Structure 1
Amino acid sequence: MKQKLLNLLLAFGVVGIFSAQGYITPDTNMTYTLDDLVALSPSTISVTGTTYTLVDDLTISASDALIISTDVTLEIGADKRITVFGTFNVTANNAMFTAINTAAPYDGFRFEEFSVINIQNATIQYGGGLRVLTETFTINNCLVTNNVSGVATGGVISLSRGMPQITNNTITFNQTAAISSGANTAVSPYIFNNYIEGNNQANSNRPQINMAITLVDEPIQIIQNTIKGDRNLTLVGGISVSDLLGAGVVNAVIDDNIITDNRYGIVMQSNNVSAFVRNNVIEDNNTQDVPLQGGSGISLIASIEGNNIIASGNEIRRNLWGITLQGESMINLGDNVGNVGQNVFSENGNGGATYALFNNTPNPLMAMHNCWDEANAPNTLADAEAVISHQNDDPSLGLVTFDPVDCAFLSVEDLAFDQLAMYPNPTYGQLHLDQNTSFNHMNVYSIEGKLIMTKHLQAGSNEMKLELNSGIYILEFHGEYNKAIKKLVVK
């Protein structure tokens, strides 16, 4: 009788496998909605209104797809996992994935190799993170917050291969790092325009973006993100792209980021690096306040010569060290060939001394056309020498060629803006402008360049409430003779 019933179910195409692993779709090239899954396995998933409740593991098989195109909340039971071998496509305007009980997190999402993953406009919270084993992965305009170590252990978004796309997200206050990869897995993600704050709440010795080796021919791109630390987390750094096992290469583009309030700003540790580090604002990365254990705006470590790192246009302020080089590491901070220099240093120091650049290697460095002491611009060669540690201080160290020094690229507009106090940044919408002497109006643009609003400014103090969604905006200040542009992060 049981055999006859099984044959009858198969004949009518009743789909789904029930096992100790929860519900598994039958791998028959089917596309499912959550409502379909409720009908097929009501003991696994149920629905009330637009809230779905998953009480067992769910697996989407290799030829199957789960599509979420309407606004829903999916509550997931403690330690339960969603595993995808096929397609997982979230295109709703507002989808939420959360725990049934926020004190009992679900295990998270595991996206297997060859799965196709597209997650848009979702909130992912109180789970065990996203273990991404596939090359075909996009997460865009999502909030990923308050997750713990679960199926993903190294980072709340844990990557393994290919060129995944991580764009326009807010990633905050997770127990682990925000984004990570395995020590011996080559991956080159595009990490663009994300707001990243207070991750690695476990306070382990890891940065918020913790990447290892990359693809040889395709760089990891970390562009236009804000990486803000929690100053109570004294072991958490900003960005690391490092080959700790000597297993491969580091090919990186790190441009236009704001990196603040971490243990350190950027670390690259590898014997095979090709990288650009450009136009980053790296400030106040000093939370541990132990100079011999970190605190650099940029730290480079290598055991053999040959790395090719080009750095230009960076603003490096109030870290324990500006830029430090150890072992046999190398960097080009400006030359008369292809690198304009124009890095700005200010108030980087510890123990009562200022260290804009510490070349703790035997290698000579080119470092022309930089402003070494912003507060005392324009600089003299003596001003630069006073904040650079190199062969002139210790004959065993490499010589830094820093002549000519140059603060002229700090335009009249930049200097005028330096007199203007703008806070808080990041903000929830309230903005204060003090000591305004040069600007009469401010334009607010989206990151795509669309004009959102114009505010008229008065001399002295200005206080305003900006009704803006979370994200990064461009503020353009105008005066009779001056113009300045700055980024604003809205939480």
Structure 2
Amino acid sequence: MKKITFFIFSILLSTLSYAQLVTPGTGVYYNLSELSDLDPSILSFDGTKYTLSEDLTIAGDDGLIINTTDTLLVDADKRITVEGQFIIDIPDNEPKFVLRATDTLNPFDGIRYQDLSAGLFNNVEITYSGGLKVVTSDFVIKNSYLSYNVSGAATGSTISLSNGAPLIQNNTFYKNDLPAVGSGANQEVSAHILNNVIEKNTQSNQNRPQLNMGPTGSDTLKIKGNTIIGDPVMTKVGGISVSNFLSYNIIAEIEDNVILNNRYGITVAGGNAYAMIKGNIIEDNNTENNPALGGSGISLSSSNDSQTIIARENEIRGNLWGITVINQASIDLGTDTDLGYNRFSDNGNNGITYALYNNTSMDLSAMGNCWIESNESAGTTEIENVIFHKNDDSTLGLVDFSQWTCSTLGTELPKLSQINIYPNPASNEIHFNNVNEFKTLKFYNINGQLMKEVELIQNENKINLSIPQGLYFLKFSSDQHEITEKLIIK
């Protein structure tokens, strides 16, 4: 009898040890209050906040739908698993929904979206979690804030993607232990990563960039309008990496990003790769300060000749190398019918300037670029001094850098830098001296939408900013001239 009693008691203890809240799978969509009613001992409410004390599973036919601002605290090591739908959609003009660990010293395990589940997070603050493991392709996160998250449900990045084309837009990623967003080497992901502020992530200081993407399959990976700022103390952390080391493909558009103070700016590694790299500002990516280990504004490498990389209108300054092309990689930096308009300044190491280092045996076309921004009248001799190629080592390919120009898209209009817009990045307002007598200023977001228009006065202007954070294109116009430049609002 004692043995039977002990056996039953052991089973009871085991059951209690693995207690969790699982929705019935009957096609019901719950809010937090209704979900708490299922088991208030696991999901409790104290009048101001909800607390989840055990694992939660949202079954395949069920959903948790939240559209009011609240706080959900999750105990240490507990996980939310989504087989159905988990949606938090808070209006943008309301405070963020807060999802964080009960004890910030002991993160909860994070959220796992299973295959065929669905997720939407809008206007959510996610902190002190084990990240988001997103196996489903039906996932959107926007206007949210993710900070101080660690390895847990997601082990490779704060948001770890597995397939499809999820949307990650207008978020802030700050000081997470892992990269902000990533995907695996054997997973085809064509995410749209748009207009995010990504700052000081990979606090573990591993050799992982803040955006760490694998192959894309037949769809297009879009990395556009992001601001990616490194932490100078984290010397191993790069900016953007897109890689294909297996028998997959890369199709990528990396455009209009600002990439500052990382170990390197952008790298594309592996074959079967097509990428357009356009309109990026890539500056001071030199935190490790070891040219043998990185520090390029743009770095390309491949073990075969199946890379097609096009670079246009990038501004590359202050890196240990401007652009490096390695092994059998290749890049089109401009042709006689489609000039490059890339600008280079002060990229170098050990007292030598390297705007472009062609460390391959293949010839490269690099027509119509500004090779020495501080010396716009530089000639062949000066430009040769900043390009390493066949003329420096006979085993390397020749770079055709003809038709060099420091004008913008072939024009000779005054540059916005002469206006001295400040601050940039900005938060609340910008100032500039309208020396060129422009009449109007229009703010366009990364999707080309007109967000703000103001009439300008001559001389000093002060513009109040009342638009969301992100990268904007500022179009200054007069009867004679039109100039477009970038502004970061954070």
Question: How does the TM-score come out when normalised to structure 1?
Answer: 0.89
- Ranges of 4+ aligned residues in structure 1 off by more than 6 Å: 411-414, 461-464
Change (3 A) 1:111 1:325: same
Give the superposition deviation at 1:109. 0.5
* Cα distance in 2 between the residues matched to 1:439 and 1:242: 46
Report the 3-state secondary structure (helix = DSSP H, G, I; strand = E; otherwise coil) of the residue aligned with 1:242: strand
* Cα distance in 2 between the residues matched to 1:250 and 1:363: 21
Change (3 A) 1:294 1:455: farther
Task: Report the AA paired with residue 115 of structure 2.
Answer: E
Q: How does 1:157-168 map to 2 (within 5 A)?
A: 157-168=159-170
Give the superposition deviation at 1:488. 2.3
Change (3 A) 1:412 1:272: closer
Indicate the RMSD between aligned Cα atoms, in angstroms: 2.3
* Cα distance in 2 between the residues matched to 1:142 and 1:467: 18
Report the 3-state secondary structure (helix = DSSP H, G, I; strand = E; otherwise coil) of the residue aligned with 2:374: helix
Give the superposition deviation at 1:178. 0.4
* Cα distance in 1 between the residues matched to 2:450 and 2:291: 43
1:234 paired residue number: 235
1:106 paired residue number: 108
Give the superposition deviation at 1:50. 5.0
2:175 paired residue number: 173
Task: Report the AA paired with residue 185 of structure 2.
Answer: A
Give the superposition deviation at 1:133. 0.7
Change (3 A) 1:444 1:202: farther
Asked if the contact 2:64–2:87 (Cα under 8 Å) also holds between the matched residues in 1, the reply is: yes
1:65 paired residue number: 63
* 2:199 paired residue among 197, 201, 205: 197
Q: How does 1:340-419 map to 2 (within 5 A)?
A: 340-409=339-408, 415-419=414-418
Give the superposition deviation at 1:476. 3.4
Give the superposition deviation at 1:41. 0.6
1:127 paired residue number: 129
* Cα distance in 2 between the residues matched to 1:398 and 1:129: 45
1:302 paired residue number: 302
Asked whether 1:144 is paired with 2:146, we answer: yes
Asked if the contact 1:384–1:405 (Cα under 8 Å) also holds between the matched residues in 2, the reply is: no
Task: Report the AA paired with residue 202 of structure 2.
Answer: N
Task: Report the AA paired with residue 22 of structure 1.
Answer: Q
Give the superposition deviation at 1:441. 6.2
* Cα distance in 2 between the residues matched to 1:203 and 1:37: 39
More displaced, 388-397 or 99-108? 99-108
Change (3 A) 1:171 1:417: same
Change (3 A) 1:121 1:203: same
More displaced, 441-450 or 75-84? 441-450
Change (3 A) 1:23 1:328: same
* Cα distance in 1 between the residues matched to 2:376 and 2:23: 66
Q: How does 1:184-223 map to 2 (within 5 A)?
A: 184-215=186-217, 217-223=218-224
Asked if the contact 1:192–1:222 (Cα under 8 Å) also holds between the matched residues in 2, the reply is: yes
* Cα distance in 1 between the residues matched to 2:444 and 2:329: 39
Asked if the contact 1:160–1:185 (Cα under 8 Å) also holds between the matched residues in 2, the reply is: yes
- The count of aligned residue pairs is 470
* 1:443 paired residue among 441, 444, 457: 441
Asked whether 1:224 is paired with 2:225, we answer: yes
More displaced, 229-238 or 462-471? 462-471
Change (3 A) 1:439 1:46: farther
* Cα distance in 1 between the residues matched to 2:185 and 2:422: 39
Give the superposition deviation at 1:423. 3.7
* Cα distance in 2 between the residues matched to 1:306 and 1:39: 58
Identity of aligned residues (%): 44
* 2:38 paired residue among 40, 44, 51: 40
* Cα distance in 2 between the residues matched to 1:414 and 1:326: 36
Asked if the contact 1:75–1:100 (Cα under 8 Å) also holds between the matched residues in 2, the reply is: yes
Change (3 A) 1:125 1:202: same
* Cα distance in 2 between the residues matched to 1:253 and 1:352: 33
Q: What whole-Å deviation, never above 9, does each CA across 1:255-289 have from its counterpart, x for those lacking one?
A: 11111111111001102211111111111111111
Asked whether 1:80 is paired with 2:81, we answer: no
* Cα distance in 2 between the residues matched to 1:414 and 1:101: 57
* Cα distance in 1 between the residues matched to 2:474 and 2:78: 44
Report the 3-state secondary structure (helix = DSSP H, G, I; strand = E; otherwise coil) of the residue aligned with 1:292: coil
Give the superposition deviation at 1:121. 1.5
Asked if the contact 2:226–2:470 (Cα under 8 Å) also holds between the matched residues in 1, the reply is: no
Q: What whole-Å deviation, never above 9, does each CA across 1:8-40 have from its counterpart, x for those lacking one?
A: xxxxxxxxx988151111212221111111111
Asked if the contact 1:413–1:483 (Cα under 8 Å) also holds between the matched residues in 2, the reply is: no
Change (3 A) 1:351 1:190: same
Task: Report the AA paired with residue 278 of structure 2.
Answer: R
Report the 3-state secondary structure (helix = DSSP H, G, I; strand = E; otherwise coil) of the residue aligned with 1:39: helix
Asked if the contact 1:378–1:408 (Cα under 8 Å) also holds between the matched residues in 2, the reply is: no
Report the 3-state secondary structure (helix = DSSP H, G, I; strand = E; otherwise coil) of the residue aligned with 2:181: strand
Give the superposition deviation at 1:183. 1.8
2:249 paired residue number: 249
* Cα distance in 1 between the residues matched to 2:265 and 2:457: 34
Asked if the contact 2:238–2:265 (Cα under 8 Å) also holds between the matched residues in 1, the reply is: yes
Change (3 A) 1:101 1:455: farther
Question: How does the TM-score come out when normalised to structure 2?
Answer: 0.90
Give the superposition deviation at 1:477. 3.5
* Cα distance in 2 between the residues matched to 1:425 and 1:192: 19
* Cα distance in 2 between the residues matched to 1:90 and 1:354: 50
Asked whether 1:288 is paired with 2:323, we answer: no
Asked if the contact 2:185–2:215 (Cα under 8 Å) also holds between the matched residues in 1, the reply is: yes
2:9 paired residue number: none
Asked whether 1:263 is paired with 2:270, we answer: no
* Cα distance in 1 between the residues matched to 2:397 and 2:410: 32
More displaced, 423-432 or 23-32? 423-432
Give the superposition deviation at 1:241. 0.2
Task: Report the AA paired with residue 96 of structure 1.
Answer: V
* Cα distance in 2 between the residues matched to 1:470 and 1:232: 26
Task: Report the AA paired with residue 29 of structure 2.
Answer: T
Give the superposition deviation at 1:432. 4.9
1:314 paired residue number: 314
Task: Report the AA paired with residue 42 of structure 1.
Answer: P
Give the superposition deviation at 1:78. 1.3
Task: Report the AA paired with residue 111 of structure 1.
Answer: Y
Change (3 A) 1:490 1:181: same
Give the superposition deviation at 1:363. 0.9
Q: What whole-Å deviation, never above 9, does each CA across 1:212-251 have from its counterpart, x for those lacking one?
A: 1111x2121111211111222211111000124x342222
Task: Report the AA paired with residue 194 of structure 1.
Answer: N
* Cα distance in 1 between the residues matched to 2:415 and 2:192: 35
Asked if the contact 1:371–1:379 (Cα under 8 Å) also holds between the matched residues in 2, the reply is: no
Give the superposition deviation at 1:51. 2.0
Structure 2: 5+ residue runs without aligned partners? 1-14
Report the 3-state secondary structure (helix = DSSP H, G, I; strand = E; otherwise coil) of the residue aligned with 1:36: helix
Give the superposition deviation at 1:407. 2.5
Q: What whole-Å deviation, never above 9, does each CA across 1:154-177 have from its counterpart, x for those lacking one?
A: 110101111111112112211110
Change (3 A) 1:416 1:292: same
Asked if the contact 1:223–1:256 (Cα under 8 Å) also holds between the matched residues in 2, the reply is: yes
1:6 paired residue number: none
Give the superposition deviation at 1:42. 0.2
